Structure 1
Amino acid sequence: MTNWALVIGINEYQRLRSLNYAVQDAEAVRDFLREEAGFEHVFYFSDNSPDEIAPDGSPQSTRPTYANLWSFLLDFFEEPYLKAGDNFWFFFSGHGVRYRERDFLMPCDTNSRAIENTAISINYVTERLRRCGADNIVLFLDACRNQRDRAGVGIGLEKHQGVITISSCSPKEVAYEIEEIGQGSFTYALLESLRIKGEGNCATVERLYQRLRHRVPAINNYYNKPQQIPYAVVEPATKYHFILLPRYATLKDIETLKIDAFRAETENNYELAKQLWIQVNVAAAGSDLEAIEAIQRLAEWKVRATNPPQFTVSAQLTKPWRFKLPIIAISICGLAVISVLAIKKVLQDTSILSKQQLPLNGKVINGLLNENDSSGIPLDKTYSDAYIFKGIRGQSVTIEMSSQEFDPYLVLLNPNHSELDSNDDVSPKDWNAKIVVELPKDGYYTVIARSSVEGESGAYKLKAILKRKIP
């Protein structure tokens, strides 16, 4: 995994009120990323920063003017230097503005009367950063500093798919600099939080955000500043579980990511699933066998998706038979029990299925099958719900499904999505379904709770009991 960052701090503005500690904040973030977080490359723009070397080998000024920032984002991110699983952080400390429903960052030469022509839109920033090849783009915006006019209020409302954005204050608030500590309260709290170690660390976006929303107002209150509450926009929501600092990740953090990755697979969001599984493996120092297997599985699915099998009807068949063959196939499929391949497809097309966790303590889940629970398989008109649970090799699990309104049918899938077991009827006199199985491997198992007969619907009860771990 490779980590890069772009850090910008601006004190001296030509046409806006200058700031006192934006450069100090940027320097502190730059030093933290280089010296403590282990980032391989940190680009740095400030009032007096040294030149960067452009891709063509020429020196490029890092004074944070509109032309320099716009050109840097254009030139340095034209080619993907990073790869899947890598991270890119963007930190900005200075003035910001929301103008005509868009968020802008203010370079040192911004003209507040010509925002669209002299400020950098965050949309442009994210569009260029996405080109670097990294899966994970994280923006920290310590903007909207206390300029005390409309130009400094409101940034942070825009959503950018696949991007994590944490702003220093909520919309319509401003961010404050604290003279006594020589920093903005947001950046001070940010670095303080990222340095926490142990179980209470802020290694994930969720924990970092929660702490910032508590810590920044507390700092402002202590130094008699008005309210300032950080504001986050995270797309998709699963990125709240993104691990910012893998070295501090807990086992619980990794398990949460695994569940997110599994759900992304069931929703056919294979790109997101791949990103999440890579994060799992990075946080586990490359030793998570389940993540390695999942990454390989996703790669195989991608190959199959790009090279689908081709089926043709022989031209030698007479015209009537070419029409009859599909009809015969439809009839057979309609009467046959769903095959293992069909069950796999249930899992691969479950955006309309429930994706609840199934407890293994005997707790009864009251479910309902109806037309909104279609399996998604052509010609299959049964209704299905999907549940997941984490199992350990050697455990004995009993799963029971009962209904007074339809004939239940249970299917249990391995972590690799192949069928492990299934059951239609407990006995000739008991049409409820029951599976008793010893789990063959560690991982996340899927339970498909469905009707045995097409079109049947109604209420059902589902429970699972972990009996014991077999030695």
Structure 2
Amino acid sequence: MTNWALVIGINEYQRLRSLNYAVQDAEEVRDFLREEAGFEHVFYFSDNSPDEIAPDGSSQSTRPTYANLWSFLLDFFEEPYLETGDNFWFFFSGHGIRHQERDFLMPCDTNPRAIENTAISINYVTERLRRCGADNVVLFLDACRNQRDRAGVGIGLEKHQGVITISSCSPREVAYEIEEIGQGSFTYALLESLKIKGEGNCATVERLYQRLRHRVPAINNYYNKPQQIPYAVVEPATKYHFILLPRYATLKDIETLKIDAFRAETEGNYELAKQLWVQVNVAAAGSDVEAIEAIQRLAEWKVRATPSPQLTISDKPTKPWGLKLLIIAISICSLAVISVLAVKRVIQDTSILSEQQLPLNGKVINGLLNEDDSSGIPLDKTYSDAYIFKGIKGQSVTIEMSSKEFDPYLVLLNPNHSELDSNDDLSPSDWNAKIVVELPKDGYYTVIARSSVEGESGAYKIKAILN
């Protein structure tokens, strides 16, 4: 597996308000990728970065102007350098804008009155990055730096097939720089999260995103900044299980990827299946027998599927007869593991949002909201627990939360982490919250359990059941 990245940080703008810590953000990310994450090549553009050597041997300026960035994306990504299983990360810290229903990143010489001609669309960025050959493209966008530039709507809303995009704030929010820490709150939380080792690490997209959605608002609250909640768009949804940092992956992470890979095979999505099996084998340090056999099997299917004049129906690739039974068996085993893991994990780093499986069998879970469910920062009063369950499209689910100590508030998030439903029963007699919903898609749903009034704490009960 090979890892490359493009990191951009811009403080000095010619026609926009200059920033203070975007370059520092980019430097910190660059150093982490090179020195700790082990990336083989990190391209770096900033106000004072050295030149890059182009494929033709010429020297190319890395000052983040429109012409330099556009040309670099055009020249360096014309031919594929990477392959299946490889990763390319893109990090941008600077100004961004949503213009005419499209997301744009703003180079240092952007003219705000000529966005389409002087800013770079994220669509162009992803189109060029996908040409590198890597099947895992990850974007981290720390933009939307002030209200005037944003025109009231954040960037990172566009969907790009096969691309993971995590933006520093949700629509209609601002991304803030924190003078006391000398960085943007998003990048600070991002690096902090990626550096966690052992229990509670953020090796997967799902865990990283959940932690950022809790940690960034906590940092802003502590430093008296308005709310800022990171926002992710992940296509396809299976990439929520993508392992960003294989060295920190758990056995459960690998088993989850295996289930996704088997499912892709049964559905005939062989390219996705191959990508997932390669990820499994990388996370297992190249020693997973099931993954190795699956990759070989898919390679044979690809050869058999190559059109020829003699091709008959019987020659076309078929699904192995035992594959569906195998995925069912693995799913049952995984559900058994999940039920064992239903006990709430105790994480020493209390800045991580508590997370546990929520069984859909009516089992009552006893929870407790207290300072251990906060960010761990003094003065922060955001207390909440997170639960996840795996749902199937069309299922009807009832989720109930009750407490004798505070007024419960429930939020249900879709697999893409957008809000599906919420409930705050204002009746003072029962202190209950209840959601009844039909699930719109397959995937992992997140239930946020909290109080209706920020800062309230105490014991509660929560349960979920299929109707």
TM-score normalised by structure 2 residue count:
0.68
Q: CA deviation at 1:388?
A: 21
Runs of 4 or more above 3 Å deviation: 147-153, 311-466
Q: CA deviation at 1:172?
A: 1.0
Distance 2:328 2:380 in 1: 15
Distance 2:171 2:422 in 1: 53
Q: CA deviation at 1:154?
A: 1.5
Structure 2: gaps of 5 or more residues: none
Distance 1:309 1:343 in 2: 59
Alpha-carbon displacement from aligned partner over 1:309-329 (angstroms, at most 9, x marks no partner): 837899999999999999999
| 8 Å CA contact retained: 2:304, 2:317 | no
Partner of 2:228: 228
**Cα distance change of structure 1 residues 24 and 263 upon mapping to structure 2, 3 Å threshold:** same
| 8 Å CA contact retained: 1:261, 1:274 | yes
Distance 2:158 2:429 in 1: 60
Superposition CA RMSD, Å: 16.9
Q: CA deviation at 1:283?
A: 0.2
Q: CA deviation at 1:332?
A: 37
| 8 Å CA contact retained: 1:265, 1:348 | no
Q: CA deviation at 1:370?
A: 49
| 8 Å CA contact retained: 1:411, 1:421 | yes
Greater gyration radius = 1
Structure 1: gaps of 5 or more residues: 467-471
**Cα distance change of structure 1 residues 8 and 360 upon mapping to structure 2, 3 Å threshold:** closer
| 8 Å CA contact retained: 2:344, 2:354 | no
Q: CA deviation at 1:199?
A: 2.0
Structure 1 residues 413-452: aligned runs within 5 Å: none
**Cα distance change of structure 1 residues 113 and 301 upon mapping to structure 2, 3 Å threshold:** same
Q: SS at the partner of 2:221?
A: helix
| Fraction of identical pairs, as percent | 92
Q: CA deviation at 1:419?
A: 42
Partner of 2:109: 109
| 8 Å CA contact retained: 1:194, 1:201 | yes
Alpha-carbon displacement from aligned partner over 1:406-458 (angstroms, at most 9, x marks no partner): 99999999999999999999999999999999999999999999999999999
Q: CA deviation at 1:289?
A: 0.3
Q: CA deviation at 1:393?
A: 32
Alpha-carbon displacement from aligned partner over 1:121-144 (angstroms, at most 9, x marks no partner): 000000000000001000000010
Distance 2:311 2:458 in 1: 38
Q: CA deviation at 1:150?
A: 3.6
Alpha-carbon displacement from aligned partner over 1:358-390 (angstroms, at most 9, x marks no partner): 999999999999999999999999999999999
**Cα distance change of structure 1 residues 287 and 188 upon mapping to structure 2, 3 Å threshold:** same
Distance 1:112 1:429 in 2: 55
Partner of 2:121: 121
**Cα distance change of structure 1 residues 290 and 99 upon mapping to structure 2, 3 Å threshold:** same
**Cα distance change of structure 1 residues 118 and 337 upon mapping to structure 2, 3 Å threshold:** closer
Larger deviation, residues 167-176 vs 150-159? 150-159
Distance 2:405 2:217 in 1: 55
Q: CA deviation at 1:344?
A: 41
Please state if 1:273 is matched with 2:273: yes
Corresponding pairs, count: 466
| 8 Å CA contact retained: 1:95, 1:152 | no
Q: CA deviation at 1:156?
A: 1.0
**Cα distance change of structure 1 residues 414 and 268 upon mapping to structure 2, 3 Å threshold:** farther
Alpha-carbon displacement from aligned partner over 1:311-360 (angstroms, at most 9, x marks no partner): 78999999999999999999999999999999999999999999999999
Larger deviation, residues 426-435 vs 307-316? 426-435
Larger deviation, residues 410-419 vs 28-37? 410-419
Alpha-carbon displacement from aligned partner over 1:171-199 (angstroms, at most 9, x marks no partner): 11110000000000000000000000012
Partner of 2:68: 68
Alpha-carbon displacement from aligned partner over 1:88-144 (angstroms, at most 9, x marks no partner): 000000000000000000000000000000000000000000000001000000010
Distance 2:219 2:373 in 1: 50
Structure 1 residues 1-400: aligned runs within 5 Å: 1-151=1-151, 153-307=153-307, 310=310
Distance 1:222 1:373 in 2: 15
TM-score normalised by structure 1 residue count:
0.67
| 8 Å CA contact retained: 1:363, 1:463 | yes
Distance 2:389 2:205 in 1: 25
**Cα distance change of structure 1 residues 355 and 265 upon mapping to structure 2, 3 Å threshold:** farther
**Cα distance change of structure 1 residues 372 and 263 upon mapping to structure 2, 3 Å threshold:** farther
**Cα distance change of structure 1 residues 204 and 389 upon mapping to structure 2, 3 Å threshold:** closer
Distance 1:457 1:189 in 2: 25
**Cα distance change of structure 1 residues 292 and 119 upon mapping to structure 2, 3 Å threshold:** same
Alpha-carbon displacement from aligned partner over 1:190-238 (angstroms, at most 9, x marks no partner): 0000000012100000000000000000000000000000000000000
Q: SS at the partner of 1:208?
A: helix
| 8 Å CA contact retained: 1:44, 1:62 | yes
Q: SS at the partner of 2:421?
A: strand
| 8 Å CA contact retained: 1:205, 1:239 | yes
Q: SS at the partner of 2:321?
A: helix
Distance 2:248 2:317 in 1: 65
Distance 1:452 1:226 in 2: 19
| 8 Å CA contact retained: 1:96, 1:153 | no
Q: CA deviation at 1:146?
A: 2.6
**Cα distance change of structure 1 residues 83 and 423 upon mapping to structure 2, 3 Å threshold:** same
**Cα distance change of structure 1 residues 310 and 370 upon mapping to structure 2, 3 Å threshold:** farther
Larger deviation, residues 282-291 vs 440-449? 440-449
| 8 Å CA contact retained: 2:166, 2:233 | yes
**Cα distance change of structure 1 residues 342 and 72 upon mapping to structure 2, 3 Å threshold:** same
**Cα distance change of structure 1 residues 459 and 327 upon mapping to structure 2, 3 Å threshold:** farther
Larger deviation, residues 151-160 vs 347-356? 347-356
| 8 Å CA contact retained: 1:380, 1:454 | no
Distance 1:38 1:336 in 2: 35
Distance 1:15 1:418 in 2: 34
